[in-house]
Amino acid sequence: MKNTKQKIRLIQLYKKWYFLLIISLLLTILVSYLSFNSFFEDLEMKMLDYRFQLDPRPEKADTNVVIIAIDDSSLDFFSNNGISWPWPRSFYGHVVNYLTQAGARSLIFDMQFYEKDIEREETTAKKTDGFFAKKIRESGEVYLGTQLLKDPTEIPSEIAEISIKPKQKKILSFRGIKAPIEPFLESARSIGVINTSPDNDGLIRRIGLFYKLNDHILPQIAYRVWMDQYKKSQEVKIPLDKNGNYLLNWYGKKSFTVYPFRALISSASAYMNDDKPILALERFRDKHVIFGATAAGLYDLKSNSYSKIMPGMVIWATALSNYINQDFVTITDFWINFIITLTIVFFILYFISNLLPQRANVFIFFLLIFILSYNFSLWKIYRIQLNFTMQMFGFILSYLFINTMSYFLEGRSRREIRRIFTRYLHKDVIEQLEKNPNIVQLGGEEIDATILYTDIYNFTTLSENKTPTQLIKDLNEYFRNLIKYIFRYKGLLDKYTGDGIMALFGAPIERKDHAMLACRAAFAHKKLREELEKRSQLTSIENLHLKTRIGINSGRIVAGNLGGEKRMDYTAIGDAVNLAARLEGVNKIYKTNIIISESTYEKVKAEFICRELDYLRVKGKTQPTKIFELMDKKSADASKYEWIEFYGQAVELYRAGKWKQARKSFMKLAEEQNDTASKVMMERCNYLMKSPPENWEGILKLDVK
């Protein structure tokens, strides 16, 4: 009993909200710690990719950012005209000149010019580089890409003039540089770093804003353009992650206008010859034009959230568009994700521990839908990135934890319930208890219930001519048939009492209709008995049913496990139990089969026809009680039981001490209705007339159990 109570207290404790909150806090701390693991960080990046893919926004890309692609068609175009790659630098000079005439806002080369042009038969490197440098200088808006190296190299003196002093402290360091050759470096408005570092899965998602080259700080190329062109007019704080990197807000696969280089140089040539260009000057007015390679053989292909094959200059086009339009991904603070995860964990623990499994799973399903919905909604509307991986890890971990805990605590309770009740409850009721073991207190509780006792009248005489083996066989068959009525009406078989049983209704599962169920079970057996009475011959087992007497009482009882560690049973104790047992024995006095107490009668009188038998005081009780015989259902022919009213009048005469008049009425009922109880009352009136008591209360006192 002690261990059972301890188990129950533990089960009750782990369902309390404050205990669940403590567990939720501990689980969330664990989830938070693990979320910093590289595996979960990579997984969150994958979740970010899915968000981009589910909600592409090509219309949000800045239309003033365009791309000039050195693509396969351009390579083929020049190859067919006898010009192989790499092209003369003068080509770039012509397109820079054309775009300058068009009024382009900036010209950005995602290309490296760290070596002189190659010598050709028709021209020299000095001429081609010189022409390109001249056009760069005339434009005044050309930005050249540069690559930083881990290995040390000579650093041009011009780098010191380009170096800046940002407030950011966490900056990736390098020791070498592939800078543009001196003519370009002197002519360009500025240079910018084009280094990229993919994540562990090879995808570009983040880029640095600044890079350290020995004592110099160089900006990333798109950020360099934004600094020069917009920073003074825009008060913008660009969000960075914990490593000082900027998370790109991708727009989709085809977000920016792309022109092939061959079309641009053809337009430049037509413009020089006063012909109509393919790409009109107006197309490039106030545009940021980014040059880069898309041809497969030029090795400038990257991967991002949308595509495994992405031209490198799309990175800078995206970044520049983000900066200009302040179109950033909002990375939520750690504490926000912590609180959200804590809330999710708490709700899962609470649902599973305090609700029925079916209802808990429904709530958890809707909680999952809610998590998915608000994560995607915040992303779609505001581009807010909540840590979805952290939330789902908390969801899964808490779900597994509480189910495991429930298995060891409530699962043990369920096994305890099956062990205790499997012998004396219907399997459907056991399954109900297993689904919700909280509805029964194995340690004992006071409840309102109905107790039913049975006994076999004159059993000793009936069993005299039987061998022990035959007697046990008959009793087993008799009990099997009797118990089915108990189980049919949700009763609990409490114990066997030799040739009888004790059954509880309203325990271990409390219910308001317990008295009605007990009477229905008794009435079902009464119908069997009436069928047997019509037969001329009965088997020994049928004869036992014919001799069965039933006593029923309703009231407060204490129900729970009684016994020791090695032997423990679920049972009930209390005055209500004792009275039910007495009422079963009272049947012997009135020659009846089913007697119910007044408390039971008040609960079933709307459904059953009952007659008041007497007013008696049982041994051990000071308060008298009225007793009733259960006769039939209210749906029966009412005229069949009109005599019950006459019996009640006779009882009133009897209680008033008018025994002679009462005797006459009881005699009439005994003769006309063949009523055994009336015959008993008639004989009692005879006795009282011969030996009248000194103080008559109208109450029969039973001195024996």
**pLDDT tens, position by position, 110-146:** 999 999 999 998 899 999 999 999 999 999 999 999 9
The tokens for 164 are 């800046």
- Looking at the structure, do residues 304 and 206 belong to the same domain, yes or no? yes
d(CA 444, CA 453): 21
Question: Diameter of the chain by CA atoms?
Answer: 154
Contacts of 545 (CB under 8 A, 6+ apart): 478, 481, 482, 525, 528, 529, 532
pLDDT at residue 617, as a whole number: 86
What are 501-526's pLDDT values in tens digits?
999 999 877 889 999 999 999 999 99
Distance of alpha carbon 92 from alpha carbon 655, whole angstroms:
126
- Residue 640 is classified by DSSP as G
Q: Are residues 456 and 394 in the same domain?
A: no
Q: Is residue 50 part of a domain?
A: no
- 41 falls within a domain: no
* Torsion sign over Cα 607, 610, 612, 615: negative
Compute the chain's Rg from CA coordinates. 48
Position 13 scores a pLDDT of 67
- 3-class SS at 215? coil
pLDDT (0 to 100) of residue 1: 42
511 and 406 together in one domain: no
**Domain assignment present for 285:** yes
- Is 40 within the bounds of a domain? no
- To 5 degrees, how large is the angle CA 485–CA 489–CA 492? 85
DSSP string, 133-154: HHHHHHHS-EEEEEEEESS---
Residue in the structure block whose two tokens are 């605590």? 409
Is a pLDDT exceeding 60 seen at residue 3? no
Checking if the pLDDT of 349 tops 50, the result is yes
pLDDT tens digits, residue range 103-112? 999 999 999 9
User: Domain for residue 45, yes or no?
Assistant: no
The pLDDT of residue 618: 80
Q: Mean pLDDT across the stretch 338-353?
A: 95
pLDDT score of 468 more than 90: no
Whether residue 49 lies inside any domain: the answer is: no
State pLDDT tens for residues 605-631.
999 999 999 999 887 677 889 999 999
| Burial classification of residue 490, based on how many CB atoms lie within 10 Å of its CB (0-12 exposed, 13-18 middle, 19 or more buried) | buried
Of residues 508, 518, 514, the one with CA closest to residue 551: 518
Q: What is the pTM of this model?
A: 0.68
- Which residue, of 291, 308, 329, is where some domain finishes? 329
pLDDT at 425: 55
Rounded Cα distance between 192 and 226, Å, is: 11
Residue type, 155: I
pLDDT tens track for 180-203 = 999 999 999 999 999 999 999 999
DSSP result, 479-534:
HHHHHHHHHHTT-EEEEE-SS-EEEEES-SS--TTHHHHHHHHHHHHHHHHHHHHT
240 with 308, same domain? yes
Give per-residue pLDDT as tens, 58-94.
999 999 999 999 999 999 999 999 999 999 999 999 9
Which residue, 329, 362, 384, sits at the end of a domain? 329
Strands 501-505 and 445-456: antiparallel
For residue 375 the two structure tokens come to: 């994560």
- End residue of a domain, out of 614, 632, 650: 632
317 with 338, same domain: the answer is no
**Alpha-carbon gap, residue 65 to 7, rounded angstroms:** 69
Average pLDDT over residues 145-149: 96
Residues 118, 122, 124, 129: what is their CA dihedral angle, to the nearest 10 degrees? -80
Instruction: Indicate whether 579 and 672 sit together in one domain.
Output: no
Same domain, 181 and 302: yes
Q: Is 471 exposed, middle or buried (0-12, 13-18, 19+ CB in 10 A)?
A: middle
Q: Are 628 and 595 in contact (CB under 8 A)?
A: yes
Predicted local confidence at residue 2, as pLDDT: 46
Instruction: Identify the residue whose tokens are 């059954």.
Output: 503
Query: Which whole number is the average pLDDT over 243-270?
Result: 95
Which pLDDT value is given to residue 501? 94
pLDDT of residue 411: 61
- How confident is the model at residue 15, as a pLDDT? 78
What is the model's pLDDT at position 705? Answer: 53
3-state SS assignment for residue 543: helix
More confident call, 569 vs 206: 206
Distance in angstroms (rounded) separating the CA atoms of residues 635 and 614:
25
Report whether 527 contacts 572 (CB < 8 A). Answer: no
Confidence check: pLDDT of 215 > 60:
yes
Residue 74 φ then ψ, to 5°: -70, -40
Cα–Cα distance, 684 to 616 (Å, whole number): 14
**Residue 107 and residue 96 share a domain:** yes
Instruction: Look up the CATH number of the domain holding residue 519.
Output: 3.30.70.1230
pLDDT tens per residue across span 647-682: 999 999 999 999 999 999 999 999 999 999 999 999
Range of the domain at 73: 58-329
Q: Is residue 637 part of a domain?
A: no
Number of domains into which the chain is organized = 4
Q: What average pLDDT does the segment 455-461 reach?
A: 86
Q: How far apart are CA 693 and CA 654, in angstroms?
A: 13
- Alpha-carbon distance of 4 to 437, in angstroms, equals 13
Strand pairing of 384-385 and 330-331?
A: parallel
Q: How far is CA 434 from the centre of its chain?
A: 21
pLDDT in tens, 295-323: 987 867 889 999 988 999 999 999 999 99
Q: Which residue, 646, 643, 591, 586, is CA-closest to 616?
A: 586
Same domain, 624 and 651: no
Give yes or no: residues 445 and 532 share one domain: yes
Q: Is there a contact between 173 and 218 (Cβ–Cβ < 8 Å)?
A: no
Q: Phi/psi at 271 (nearest 5 deg)?
A: -65, -40
Secondary structure (3-state) at 424: coil
**Cα gap 438→354, rounded to integer Å:** 9
How do residues 559-574 score in pLDDT, each as one tens digit?
876 665 555 567 888 8
Q: Are 277 and 86 in contact (CB under 8 A)?
A: no
Residue 505 near residue 452 (C-beta atoms within 8 A): yes
Residue 516 and residue 505: Cα distance in Å, rounded? Answer: 9
Residues 67 and 147 in one domain: yes
Please check whether residues 486 and 392 belong to one and the same domain.
no
Is the alpha carbon torsion for 646, 651, 656, 658 positive or negative?
positive
Nearest Cα neighbor of 665 from 677, 641, 649 is: 649
pLDDT greater than 90 at residue 633: yes
